[in-house]
Chains A and B, each alone.
Chain A
Amino acid sequence: MIDLIISKYNYWIYIVLMMIGFYAMIGKKNLVKKIIGINIFQTAIILFFVSTASKRGGTLPIIEHAHGHGAHAIEAASYINPLPHVLMLTAIVVMVSTLGVALAIMILIYRRYNTLEENEILEQRKWSSNPPF
């Protein structure tokens, strides 16, 4: 059990971080805290992916002296895996876009209800419409 945690400690750290973000998303009542929870959750997923790309003894995936010096053998094992980095570039962009749209919706909510606590908003809405299921 201990060596399980030690050899895979990167995954465990990121899972703990993910769960902190997930709890903030669903357990907190303030809308800003929920949005911060989204951010933490998605950042932890991105870190999780990127941590799978590392190789012991590998360097950055940029091939030096590539042009003009004649081809020398490029070993894949001396460079780290570039594919998760590429996927996570897209995921970071998606995270920022979701953050932007979430904040825009939150501004709209604040203009209407003048509060950002979920239970106060539900109180104000109870006097206007249907049961909340």
Chain B
Amino acid sequence: MVQQSPVLVVVIPLIFAFLIFIFGWWRRGICYPITLTAISLSFLASLLTLNTVITTGTIHYRLGSWEPPWGIEYVVDHLNAFVLVIVSLVSLIAAISSKKSVEKELNEKTVFFYSIFLLQVTGFLGIVITGDMFNLYVFLEIASLAGYALIAIGEDGAPFASFNYLIFGTIGACFYLLGVGYLYITTGSLNMADLSQILPNLYHSKVVLVAFAFFLVGVSLKMALFPLHVWLPDAYTYAPSPVSSLLAPLMTKVGAYIMIRIMFFVFKPYFSIELIPATTILVWMAGGAILFGAIWALAQTDLKRMLAYILVSEVGYITLGIGLANKNGLTGAILHILNDSFMMLALFLVVGAIMYRTGKREITGLRYIHRKMPFTMAVFVVAALSVIGIPPTCGFFSKWYLILGAIDANYWVPAGILLLSSLLNVIIFFRVIENAYLEPDEGHTGGTSETHIAIEEAPLSMLIPILIAGAGIMLFGVLSGKIVSTIIQFAIPSFV
């Protein structure tokens, strides 16, 4: 069983998606437990995979026992296994908290919703674990199609936002396919390990250069890197709450994983850094993303839309780490994949709980919420501190590595942008915290007895995931050193 764990991670949600579709007709209430079972089993398999990778090194799993490059192969190294565990854990927490929102908003579509939910998770896991370029395209399309459908069933502006996302996402996937095609024409192979052996002889070729350009643009479209991020705020604002808490932490991080895989493993780091200045371009795009994401987030009055712009900013952090391309920068980027998934998960879960209880999301409408939902807002404060970057929350450690990496590479302006963005994040989140926690001064005569508001906390199936996410933020902050030394240190490619 342990030997088959790489493929079980992907195949279990796939089979269960089909089973939900069959059994849901019989009893609707059974969809939620089946979903949780599927994702928990997948999470266990991913933990087993990570354990195997840590103890014995890279796993090569051949599908159908055909040796690569004639068959498809799953190559699981430290980077892969790490992102697999993150994706399955975040999906599990998002799935646990989805029950009440689905009952309230999407009741008659429960069967189909959970089926597409599991297919979305399958898509993400399949993208992360594979070692074959065309297989990645197939699973990228599974994830994308599920994403378009999940976003389109949201509130009022959702179908148009989903259509916009569809156009941009299809352009991104088609550019990726064009890149695979150009590489295939000139090398004849589709396997990532094989390509990394053949390509160094062809670095002077124009075909390879154009293929690299198309890969980067396509993945940037999927990852919502500035200035190709225009689909993201609308799509994640109008999506239903369980959907945005699944998609927002994960889609962008999986895109960042694809970028790291292509830039540093398929093409050697020498190509991406010195032969063409791809990393320099990425650093400036990332700087723009961090700055403009924070500035636009300041201008919003809707809490969820503000979080979507903060997500644009966070994608900028990860891309800055990739662009710096030294040891500290990449450590910061990979650590930030973990940290940002949990931060965004916690923030979007909190907004989902607030939407469920009060039905509105304006920042000015958050009066007295700290009395109604104390635990939820406590987790919000913890997540806000993490986005700002205050120890011992996890956000501080990844920012620290990123700043160290920027100083190592003599990029002073991006280091300054990182510090400036912390300041902007303080302003952004303090606006929300002020509206939520500090009450207006209504005079002292009998004010306190009038403003007694009962605790009307989020339901338990939403509260427990929120608390787990908040605890995770603190826990991963404390354990950052151990995570870096055990996993991330081996996940970074060696720079010649």
Direct A–B contact in complex, judged by CB atoms less than 8 Å apart: yes
CB neighbours (8 Å) of A52 from chain B are 181, 184-185
Proximity string of chain A (21-43) to chain B, C-beta cutoff 8 Å, 1 when within and 0 when not: 01001100001001000100110
CB <8 Å contact, A130 and B163: no
Query: In the complex the two chains form, is A48's CB within 8 Å of B181's CB?
Result: yes
B159 near A45 (CB under 8 angstroms)?
A: no
Q: Which of A84, A87, A128, A133 contacts B230 (CB 8 A)?
A: A133
Q: Which residues of A contact B152 (CB under 8 A)?
A: 104-105, 108
Q: What residues on A are CB-neighbors of B178 within 8 Å? A: 45, 48
Distance in angstroms between the alpha carbons of A132 and B234 in the assembled complex: 8
- Within 8 Å of chain A (Cβ to Cβ): is B138? yes
Residue from A49, A84, A98, A128 whose CB has the most chain B CB atoms within 10 Å: A98
Given contact pairs A48-B181, A52-B185, A105 touches B157 in the complex (Cβ within 8 A): no
Distance to closest chain B CB from A55 (angstroms): 13
Does B268 count as interface, using CB distance less than 8 angstroms?
no
A84 touching B184 in the complex, CB below 8 Å, given contacts A25-B171, A105-B166, A130-B302? yes
Contact A129 B145 (CB under 8 A): no
Separation in Å of the A132 CB from the closest CB of chain B?
8
Known: A26-B167, A94-B138. A41 touches B148 (CB 8 A): no
> Which size bracket describes the interface of B in this complex?
20 to 34
| Chain A hits for B138, CB < 8 A | 90, 94
Name the interface residues of A60-83: CB closer than 8 Å to any CB of B: none
Minimum C-beta distance from B140 to chain A (A) = 10
Binary interface encoding of chain B residues 144-155 relative to chain A, with 1 for a CB under 8 A from any of its CBs, else 0: 010011001000
Contact B174 A125 (CB under 8 A): no
| The residue from B149, B157, B170, B233 contacting A125, defined by CB atoms under 8 A apart | B157
* Contact yes or no, B167 A106, CB < 8 A: no
Chain A nearest CB from B394 CB (Å) reads 30
Chain B residues contacting A91 (CB-CB under 8 Å) are: 177
- Say yes or no: A42-B174 contact (C-beta < 8 A), given A101-B166, A108-B159: yes
Whether B480 sits at the interface, judged by CB under 8 Å, is: no
Tell me the complex Cα distance, A48–B178, Å. Answer: 9
Nearest opposing residue in chain B for A22, CB measure: B171
* Chain B positions within 8 Å of A112 at CB level: 156, 159
Q: Which residues of B contact A108 (CB under 8 A)?
A: 152, 159
Q: Which residues of chain A are within 8 angstroms of B170 by Cβ–Cβ distance?
A: 25, 38, 41-42, 98
Contact check, B167 vs A38: say whether CB atoms are below 8 A apart: yes
- Chain A interface size, under 10 / 10 to 19 / 20 to 34 / 35 or more: 35 or more
Asked if B25 is an interface residue, CB under 8 A from chain A, the answer is no
Of chain B, the residue at the smallest CB distance from A108 is B159
Residues of B within 8 A of A132 (CB): 234
- B127-166 Cβ-contact flags toward A at 8 Å (1 or 0): 0000000100010010001001100100011011011001
Contact A41 B157 (CB under 8 A): no
> Least Cβ distance of B393 to chain A in Å?
30
By a CB distance below 8 angstroms, the chain B residues around A87 are 134, 190
Contacting pair A106 B171 (CB below 8 A) = no
B166 cross-chain contacts in A, Cβ below 8 A: 98, 101-102, 105
CA distance A22 to B167 in the complex (A): 10
Tell me which of B134, B160, B163, B234 contacts A102 (CB under 8 A).
B163
Contacts of B370 in A (CB 8 A): none
**Nearest CB to that of B153 among chain A residues?**
A108
Chain B residue with minimal CB distance to A124?
A: B160
Cα distance A52–B156 when bound, in Å?
Answer: 46
- A52 — nearest CB in chain B belongs to which residue? B185
Cβ contacts under 8 Å, B233 to chain A: 133
A45-B181, A130-B302 known; A34+B167 contact, CB < 8 A = yes
Q: Does B327 contact A (CB under 8 A)?
A: no
B435 contacts chain A at the CB level, 8 A cutoff? no
Greatest chain A CB density within 10 A among B171, B181, B296, B300 is at B181
Least CB distance from A115 to B in Å reads 11
Decide if A13 is an interface residue (CB 8 Å cutoff). Answer: no
Cβ of B305 within 8 Å of any chain A Cβ, yes or no, is yes
Contacts of A105 in B (CB 8 A): 148, 152, 159, 162-163, 166
Indicate if A121 sits at the interface (CB-CB under 8 A): yes
Residues from chain B with a CB closer than 8 A to the CB of A38 are 167, 170
B134 x A101 contact (CB < 8 A): no
Between B185, B230, B305, the greatest number of chain A beta carbons within 10 A of the residue's beta carbon is seen for: B185
Chain B residues with CB under 8 Å of A94's CB are: 138, 141
A59: CB under 8 A from chain B?
A: no
CB distance from A85 to the nearest CB of B (A): 13
Q: Are B160 and A130 interface neighbours, CB within 8 A? A: no
Does A5 sit at the interface, judged by CB under 8 A? no
Min Cβ gap B254→A in Å is 18
The 8 closest A-B pairs by CB, nearest first: A108-B159, A109-B159, A94-B141, A105-B152, A105-B163, A52-B185, A49-B181, A105-B159
* Residues of chain B whose beta carbon lies under 8 Å from any beta carbon of chain A: 134, 138, 141, 145, 148-149, 152, 156-157, 159-160, 162-163, 166-167, 170-171, 174, 177-178, 181, 184-185, 190, 230, 233-234, 296, 300-302, 305
9 examples of A-B residue contacts, CB within 8 angstroms: A45-B174, A45-B181, A52-B184, A101-B145, A101-B149, A112-B159, A130-B302, A130-B305, A133-B296
